Structures are given as C-alpha cells and as structure tokens.
Amino acid sequence: MVPKITTLSGYLHEYQKSVANPTGFWANIAETFYWHKKWDKILEWDFHNPKVEWFKGGKLNITENIFERNLFLRGEQKAIIWEPNDPNEAIREFTYNELFVEVQKFANVLKKHGVRKGDRVALYMPMIPELSIAMLACARIGAIHSIVFAGFSAKALAERIIDAEAKVVITADGGYRAHKVLRLKDVVDEALTQCPTISSNIVVKRTGGEVVWNEGVDYWWHDEMEGMEEVAPAEILDAEDPLFILYTSGSTGRPKGVLHTVGGYMIYTAYTFRNVFQYSSGDVFFCAADIGWITGHSYIVYGPLLEGAISVMFEGIPTYPDAGRYWDIIRKHEVNQFYTSPTAIRSLIAEGQEWVQDVNLPSLRVLGTVGEPINEEAWHWYHDHVGDNRCPIVDTWWQTETGGIMISAIAGVIPTKPAFASLPLPGIQPLIVDSEGNKLCGKGVQGNLCIKFPWPGMARSHWGDHKRYVESYFSQYKGLYFTGDGVKRDEDGYYRILGRMDDVINVSGHRLGTAEIENAINEHPLVSESAVVGFPHAIKGQGIYAYVVCTSIPKNAEEELKNSIKIGVSKMISPIARPDQIQFVNGLPKTRSGKIMRRILKKIAAKSTDYGDISTLTNPEIVEEIIEGNHKLIK
C-alpha cells in the first residue's frame, strides 16, 4: 500500500521532500506497486515542447495491482457494494475474488470479439457493476476504454466513437434514473448508424425493456459470459501505454479526448485516494459521482480498488425516492468517507431542513466535495448537518486532465477553511501568474492557476491530436501547465479556486464548452448567430445563458422557438447542456476584429452593472438594447 501521511508536520515534511527531489519522492511510492520490470527512467519531461513520461520502460498491468496484489490479504473482502436506484431492489456485492473472476471472464469476451492491446472500446452504460467490470477487463488486456457518460446524445456518442475509432461498444438495454427509464440501447443504435469502426455491441440486460436487435452486431453480455474461461492473463504494458481516453469540453468546439497512461495514473490515484480521504483498511468509501466522469474513474474504481478498499457504487440520484437517500445509503453500508459535489449539496439544501434534522451518521469520518467551487453556505450545511460538526471536509480541486486530486486538505491532517481547497498535495507545485504570465509570489495574491512541474497522474496528450493538447494547456504561459482556473492565495497560503477563466462553464459540476453549445444552437434553421455564457445559479453553481440572433422569429412564437432551440441542444449534446435562459437579440457586441465580447455578455447575464470599457466595440449601441432585454427576461 502507498505511504500515508497522518500529521501536519508529516505533510510539511513530505511536501518539502517532494519538491526538493520529485523523482525520488514518486519512485518511493512507485516501489509499493507490482512491476514486471522496473522503469528505465523515472521522469522525462519538457513543458516547452510538451512531453511527459513517468517510469518509462517499467512493465506492469494496473489490474494485477488491483487484484493479484490485493488477493492474498483481501480476496474475500468486499471490493464493490452496488446500491441500486430503487432501494427495494437487492444490492449486489463483489469480493475481490469475485470481481477478479468477472473481469477475467469479460476480458476473454473482449478477446473473442477481436479486441487487442491498444484497441479502443467505448462504454455507454448506466451505473451498474458491469461498467466497472468492463473497464477493468479492458485494462486487463491493454485495450483503451473510452467511457461516454450515459446522458450524452446519440450524436455526441457517435462523435466520440468516431474520434477514437473504437472497435467495440458496450451498453445496456436501459438504465434507471429515479422514476425514469433511459433507453440506452436506442441511443447506441442511432449512434452506430454513423460508426463504421464498431464491429460488436455488447449489451447488458438491466431493465428488460424492448430493444431492436441487430444480428451480427449485438450480443447479450450474459450470453457472452456464459461458460467463458475464468482466467485471463494480464497483458504486460509499458508504464506509458494508454489506459483510457475520456472526452471533456474545452474552449473550442469539439470535445477533446484526454489521454491517461497506465503507470503514472495508477500511482497518482492510489496515493491521493489513500491520503486525502485517510482511508484505512476495512473502511467503506462512497463516492457518489458517475463513472462517466473522471471522478468516478479515479475514486470509485481505480484509486479505491488499487488500495484494496471497499467502494460503494450508486446507480441513482440523491433525491430518489426522497431527499434522505444518501443518508440511508451511508447508514445502511456504514460508510466512513463520503464524496459528492456542491451541486448535490445545494439541491439537498433546497429540499428542506427536515431531511437532515435528525440525521445521525456515526460511521462518517470524512466528507469530500469536488467539481466546482463550494459556497460557504453549502460548506457549513454539509459540515454541521451531515458531518455533525466533527467530520473534516476535503474540498478537492482537480480536473479530468490532472487524473487525480491536486489541491486539497488531507482529512484531519490539514486544517480546513470554508470554500478553500487549501494546500497542494505533495508533488504538486502550483504557480499563480497574472495575465502577462508574471509570477505572483507570496501570500494574498490572485491570478491564473498554473502548475510548474509534472506529476504522475497528468494527461499525456489528446487522443490523435497532440497539437491541441499543447495549445490547450501550454500555449498561454510558456513552460507552465495552465489549468484554465482563476485562484486566490490568502494570507495563510491557502488556495481558493475562483472558477474558469476561459470559455468553459461549469454547470452542476459538468464541464461544458460555450463554443460546443453555440454550435448546437446555430444548427437551428432560424438561428443566425449565438453567444453562450455562464451566469450564477443558486443550485447548479452556473447556469447557461444564450444570446441568440435569429433570421426571423415567427409572430407570438418566441417561447416555442426557445423550446425548439433547447430541444435541439439536448439532442446534439445532452440535456445537461440545455440553456436555462435564452434571450433573443438583434446583434452581439463585437470588437473591430469581429470577436464577440463575452466579458460584457457575462456581466449582463450576471446582472452586474460594471461593463468596463465598451469603446472598442463596433456596435456599442447594442449593449443598451441587450441590457433592456435582459431586464425584461429576468426581473
């Protein structure tokens, strides 16, 4: 197991060590894993011609580090406890031994379908154990999984399958979400009409709903698993071989396939999991994220299972069948560490005090949040009512690209402050710069958050587009990784994340590119142009505000048109990208070079009155008109 920091002086000591000798620091941690062959070189890196390689030449398989490494001690211990959407349905549990058998059987199924090392497999699945089994089976044979959150549309799924040239897709007939049944196979069927690289679609029977069956392409999971050989030797990979691709939004149109590699990601997720949450053997850890996002990859599956943890996986939502569902799960499974998002917390606050009034959760020791800045009110509610004033909150700042947690308190070790992510973890060297790239040293500064030295969990590239990777993170400030976030460092040296500085908006912890949403809006036949910005939203953190210019608006049909634009966005991307507000405008404020001045649009949507300098606009008169329209729309 990885070493665990247990005191503040221990943290300070480890942090110093990790900065003075980063390669020695990470090599010591890497030694605790199982390698077929030790690495040739600990680290090779360059942030000017960006390239990062950790433990190159080291040979391993991440699933051997989950299974073979843990089995002697924990073969009969639970690995996954699955809690269904409907609390009356039976829970499913897998010991490490049982999970290992399922993973190996499914690895053999994948092989039977022609999947080999380096091939891509797309997963479009509900939160059921088969999702974890499928991803680990890919890792077992060296295939690269690309999980697409099961709320994305057929078009968004097809785009991701095409970009990754996936060979096999895995889905379910459907999924449950509160009262709703999601017809996942229908979405996959529609996507597959555009995806010539897919030869097999393996379907888990979850809901038993009617599905259209495509002979020669569709295969039932249970049929394929029936009688399958229970042993699948691990494919031995290089530390720098890809482990997975996960698509996320950036400031330009297309989603980008963030690429993580085996060795560094393994070490980083295990280390951060054990330390941030102070996991001890036998604890029950519950991360309420969806595996379709990075949080689920790193802290439902890889981090916990590498560390031999018991990981709770939940299919449903926090308000079904009622707003006490999380607390019921925590009580039922005696959860020790609970990890969720500020949006989930705010949505529970909105449900009323009665759900937490007498909630008594003695098993809880640590609370975590992730995905967006947590406001102080939500922090206190979480701390006082859920954590009974005794559980530390770890406000964990990180990104799809960072692989694991970067800035966070270590539970019970680093003192916390509401709304502050607090201090960098060992191995992480943040740097704050102003817009010209000048370093802002010392305390009490505010600027753009960069990282100046590589860490093992960082993304290595974008699938098939290294140039875009370089442009996305390394082009703004020479020699630094730019996170896209604004940050403030206070007098105690604590970091407070202020949110995105680029054209990315964070809606309920989901990251969306404004350009991506605009592209979808512009597809509407009556739309000629649009600009999308985020605006403060009481529950979601940020809502989506779209300024839309139409060629014509049919008389008395404004609302209808707004609805059809919203439906269009849901279909093109996902319901999570659906605008909260649409304002029809006659034009957008533009600079002389034709660029939309979003700064002003953001201010108007946020009801701020300080618009800054508008003299460089070609059409300053439009601003007044837009403000007036906004007042009418939102009183």
Q: Which residues bind ligand PRX (CB under 6 A)?
A: 248, 294-295, 370-373, 395-400, 421, 483-485, 497, 499-500, 506, 511
Residue 498 Cβ vs ligand PRX, minimum distance, rounded to whole Å:
8
Residue 350 structure tokens: 């909105």
Distance, CA of 310 to CA of 74 (rounded, Å): 10
Can you list the alpha helix ranges (DSSP code H) found in 355-506?
Answer: 376-381, 466-474
For 582, the enclosing helix (H) or strand (E) is strand 581-584
- With 0-12 / 13-18 / 19 or more C-beta atoms within 10 angstroms meaning exposed / middle / buried, residue 436 is exposed
Distance, CA of 545 to CA of 485 (rounded, Å): 20
Distances (CA, A) of 127 to 288, 290, 350, 351, 372: 10, 7, 25, 24, 22
Residue 428 Cβ vs ligand PRX, minimum distance, rounded to whole Å:
14
Distance, CA of 232 to CA of 141 (rounded, Å): 8
For ligand PRX, give the closer residue by CB, 141 or 497: 497
For ligand PRX, give the closer residue by CB, 269 or 295: 295
Residue 541 Cβ vs ligand PRX, minimum distance, rounded to whole Å:
9
Residue 539: CB atoms within 10 A of its CB come to 16
Distance, CA of 205 to CA of 104 (rounded, Å): 20
Is 510 in a helix, a strand, or coil? strand
Residue 163 Cβ vs ligand PRX, minimum distance, rounded to whole Å:
18
Residue 123 Cβ vs ligand PRX, minimum distance, rounded to whole Å:
18
Residue 371 Cβ vs ligand PRX, minimum distance, rounded to whole Å:
5
For ligand PRX, give the closer residue by CB, 308 or 368: 368
Residue 375 structure tokens: 């406001």
Distances (CA, A) of 460 to 35, 61, 267: 21, 18, 15
Distance, CA of 307 to CA of 298 (rounded, Å): 12
Residue 343 Cβ vs ligand PRX, minimum distance, rounded to whole Å:
11
Residue 373 Cβ vs ligand PRX, minimum distance, rounded to whole Å:
4
For ligand PRX, give the closer residue by CB, 126 or 371: 371
Residue 379 Cβ vs ligand PRX, minimum distance, rounded to whole Å:
11
For ligand PRX, give the closer residue by CB, 198 or 407: 407
For ligand PRX, give the closer residue by CB, 201 or 396: 396
For ligand PRX, give the closer residue by CB, 261 or 272: 272
Residue 36 structure tokens: 């077929």
Residue 491: CB atoms within 10 A of its CB come to 8
Distances (CA, A) of 351 to 48, 176, 375, 616: 49, 22, 17, 46
Distance, CA of 183 to CA of 212 (rounded, Å): 11
Residue 407 Cβ vs ligand PRX, minimum distance, rounded to whole Å:
8
- With 0-12 / 13-18 / 19 or more C-beta atoms within 10 angstroms meaning exposed / middle / buried, residue 231 is exposed
Q: Phi-psi category of 112—alpha, beta or left, where left has phi over 0 and alpha has psi -120 to 50?
A: alpha
Residue 289 Cβ vs ligand PRX, minimum distance, rounded to whole Å:
8
Residue 437 structure tokens: 């790239």
Match 């949505």 to its residue by tokens: 347
For ligand PRX, give the closer residue by CB, 154 or 421: 421
For ligand PRX, give the closer residue by CB, 25 or 397: 397
For ligand PRX, give the closer residue by CB, 39 or 473: 473
Is 569 in a helix, a strand, or coil? helix
* CA trace torsion 319, 323, 329, 332 (10° rounding): -140
Residue burial 72-92, b: 16+ Cβ < 10 Å; e: rest:
eebeebbbbbbbbbeeeeeee
For ligand PRX, give the closer residue by CB, 67 or 398: 398
Residue 475 Cβ vs ligand PRX, minimum distance, rounded to whole Å:
17
